[in-house]
């Protein structure tokens, strides 16, 4: 690219497309897994939450979006191996993010095509859970190490305000080629989810924030989250199952506990 191209970077945030109806998603047959010793105090925190934060990949949706995008771009195997290491917590998050993106190098046109042809699959009952929280006037946030451009359509489908989405921004040159990611976003660094939750508590004066997620980066965000609920409905990460005080494999358990 010319120096002018390299110095001028576009950062589109919103690439919205209509999402085709997928019908009823299959309900997971996985048995509900619980760590019962601390369930009752955890249930009290859950019922009295001032705000609920969700991870997105393998929690709100059934897949890891970066892996699915990598497959779509023909780079699936190499990226999936790095994602697995990142989710276990064995790699620095920002380093793993940069390595995966440098393999994929997604262009604007590839992202548009991916969103149109491979819409995210919502996890069973997540829509009902978010609806129940909204009925109780409990704010819902999406906090992800993934990408805003992929998550914003999911937020729209769940009626979550776009301003309640905290995720990474991709950068592109004016010709649409990949140019990097915004390293100023807290979600691009290790411990970034915790930093977002600290900010939310300070800004909105929330006393009790509950975080729900499947990975090590979610687990490490409690504290500052007041409670962490591990989710294994799509994939079970052994460290999370072992360390979470409440671990569920079906969102119905959380709906019933409200």
In total, the chain counts a number of residues equal to 258
In sign, the C-alpha dihedral spanning 134, 47, 228, 126 is negative
> How many Cβ atoms from other residues are within 10 Å of residue 253's Cβ?
19
| Rg, the chain, Cα only | 18
Complete domains list, the chain, with CATH: 32-257 (3.40.50.1000)
Neighbour-count burial of 84, counting CB atoms closer than 10 A to its CB (0-12 exposed, 13-18 middle, 19+ buried): middle
Are 148 and 167 spatial neighbours (Cβ–Cβ below 8 Å)? Answer: yes
How is the beta sheet containing 51-54 ordered, strand by strand? 165-168, 140-147, 51-54, 209-213, 227-231, 246-248
Look at residue 190 in the predicted model and tell me its pLDDT. Answer: 81
Q: What is the DSSP string of 226-257?
A: SEEEEE-SS---HHHHHH-SEEES-HHHHHHH
Are 91 and 248 spatial neighbours (Cβ–Cβ below 8 Å)? Answer: no
Residues with catalytic roles: 55, 57
Look at residue 210 in the predicted model and tell me its pLDDT. Answer: 93
Q: Calculate the alpha carbon distances from 214 to 103, 155, 174, 252 in Å.
A: 24, 18, 36, 16
At residue 2, the 3 state secondary structure works out as coil
Please enumerate in sequence order all residues whose Cβ is within 8 A of that of 22, keeping only pairs 6 or more positions apart, or say none: 119, 121
**Pairwise CA distance, residues 102 & 112, whole Å:** 19
Whether this prediction's pTM lies above 0.85 is answered by no
Q: Calculate the alpha carbon distances from 140 to 44, 122, 157, 162, 171 in Å.
A: 18, 16, 13, 11, 27
Are 57 and 122 spatial neighbours (Cβ–Cβ below 8 Å)? Answer: no
Look at residue 6 in the predicted model and tell me its pLDDT. Answer: 42
- Per-position pLDDT tens, the chain of length 258: 444 444 344 445 544 443 444 444 444 444 444 444 445 888 888 988 999 999 999 999 999 888 888 888 888 877 877 766 665 656 677 888 888 888 888 999 999 999 988 888 999 999 999 999 999 999 999 999 889 999 999 999 999 999 999 999 999 999 999 988 888 888 888 888 999 999 999 999 999 999 999 988 888 888 899 999 999 888 788 888 888 889 999 999 999 888
Look at residue 88 in the predicted model and tell me its pLDDT. Answer: 60
């Amino acid at each position: 690219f010319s120096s002018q191209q390299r110095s001028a970077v576009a950062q589109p945030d919103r690439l919205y497309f209509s999402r085709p109806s997928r019908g009823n998603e299959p309900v997971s047959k996985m048995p509900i897994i619980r760590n019962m010793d601390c369930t009752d105090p955890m249930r009290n925190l859950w019922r009295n939450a001032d705000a609920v934060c969700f991870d997105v990949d393998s929690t709100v949706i059934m897949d890891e979006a970066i892996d699915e995008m990598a497959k779509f771009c023909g780079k699936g195997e190499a990226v999936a191996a790095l994602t697995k290491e990142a989710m276990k917590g064995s790699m620095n998050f920002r380093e793993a993010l940069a390595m995966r993106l440098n393999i994929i190098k997604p262009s604007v046109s590839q992202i548009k095509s991916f969103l149109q042809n491979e819409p995210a699959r919502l996890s069973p009952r997540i829509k009902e859970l978010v609806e129940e929280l909204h009925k109780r006037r409990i704010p819902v946030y999406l906090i992800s190490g993934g990408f805003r451009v992929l998550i914003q359509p999911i937020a729209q489908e769940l009626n979550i305000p776009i301003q309640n989405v905290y995720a990474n921004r991709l950068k592109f040159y004016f010709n649409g080629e990949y140019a990097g990611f915004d390293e100023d976003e807290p979600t691009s660094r290790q411990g970034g989810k915790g930093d977002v939750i600290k900010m939310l508590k300070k800004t909105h004066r929330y006393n009790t924030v509950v975080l729900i997620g499947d990975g090590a980066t979610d687990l490490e965000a409690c504290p500052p989250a007041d409670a962490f609920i591990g989710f294994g409905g799509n994939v079970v990460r052994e460290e999370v199952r072992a360390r979470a005080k409440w671990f569920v494999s079906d969102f119905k358990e959380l709906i019933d506990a409200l």
